[in-house]
């Protein structure tokens, strides 16, 4: 049976090490399900940081969906070709994020509402521009992160700051439109990277 440990980025991940050979520790740091591993992380975060952040709350709400997804992994039925943009959009909408690239050391694609709660180091200049363009607290953007959080650095935004103004063309008016924008971004290769993650997970 697949066990789950907590990766170096603080996220639950399926363990594929031989028994007793895992770099993330022994029995005490392995869990029977993704859900159990997540509960351990939530509890530890709660002790460390007090209130649960919004991402954790969302995770709890989607407990059922997450269990369903874990059940899908071992005999993952769809072929890579069948895992399409629509599946990806659906997953991000349900869970708020999707794992990409390497299954052992995943990165995460997530979509955030653009405001200074979600972007912790937003400069006044940037905020002013967003307000002026009607985007502040009124637009969504997809980002790639190595750790899911309740707030992110401006550095993760694909805004390509110019000397006078930030380029905000990737900001979208809805959550779904932000995912679609990301899928259109050739450099990002989001669908390919999400498929890679599933490919590696297949058969576990
Ligand atoms: Zn392990």
- Between the CA of 71 and the centroid of ligand 1 the distance, in Å, is 19
Q: Kindly indicate the confidence band of residue 202, based on its pLDDT and cuts at 50, 70 and 90.
A: low
Q: What is the DSSP annotation of 105-142?
A: S-EEEEEEE-STTTBTT--HHHHHHHHHTT-TTT-EEE
Is the pLDDT at 11 greater than 50? The verdict is: yes
> What is the Å distance from ligand 1's center to 144 Cα?
24
Which residues line ion ligand 1, judged by CB < 5 Å? 5, 15, 17, 22, 24
Query: Where do the structural domains in the chain lie, given as residue ranges?
Result: 61-202
pLDDT of residue 83: 75
pLDDT at 143: 94
Residue 75 has pLDDT above 70, yes or no: no
- For the cut 50, the answer to whether the pLDDT of residue 66 exceeds it is no
How many CB atoms sit inside 10 A of residue 14's CB?
Answer: 19
**How far apart are the CA of 135 and the centre of ligand 1, in A?**
43
pLDDT at residue 17, as a whole number: 85
Task: Give the Å distance between the CA of 12 and the centre of ligand 1.
Answer: 10
What does the alpha-carbon distance between residue 147 and residue 141 come to, in Å, rounded to a whole number?
17
């Amino acid at each position: 049976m697949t066990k789950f440990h907590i990766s170096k980025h603080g996220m639950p991940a399926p363990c594929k090490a031989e028994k007793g050979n895992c770099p993330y520790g022994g029995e005490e740091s392995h869990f029977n399900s993704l859900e159990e591993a997540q509960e351990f992380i939530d509890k530890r975060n709660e002790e460390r940081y007090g209130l649960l952040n919004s991402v954790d709350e969302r995770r709890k709400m989607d407990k059922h969906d997450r269990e369903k997804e874990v059940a899908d992994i071992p005999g993952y039925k769809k072929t890579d070709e069948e895992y399409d943009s629509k599946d990806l959009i659906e997953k991000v909408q349900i869970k708020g994020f999707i794992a990409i690239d390497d299954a052992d050391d995943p990165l995460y694609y997530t979509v955030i509402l653009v405001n200074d709660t979600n972007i912790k180091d937003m400069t006044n200049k940037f905020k002013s521009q967003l307000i002026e363009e009607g985007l502040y607290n009124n637009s969504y953007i997809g980002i790639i992160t190595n750790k899911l959080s309740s707030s992110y650095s401006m550095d993760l935004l694909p805004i390509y700051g110019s000397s006078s103004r930030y380029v905000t063309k990737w900001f979208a008016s809805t959550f779904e439109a932000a995912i679609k924008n990301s899928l259109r971004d050739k450099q990002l290769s989001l669908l390919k990277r999400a498929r890679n993650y599933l490919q590696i997970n297949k058969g576990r």
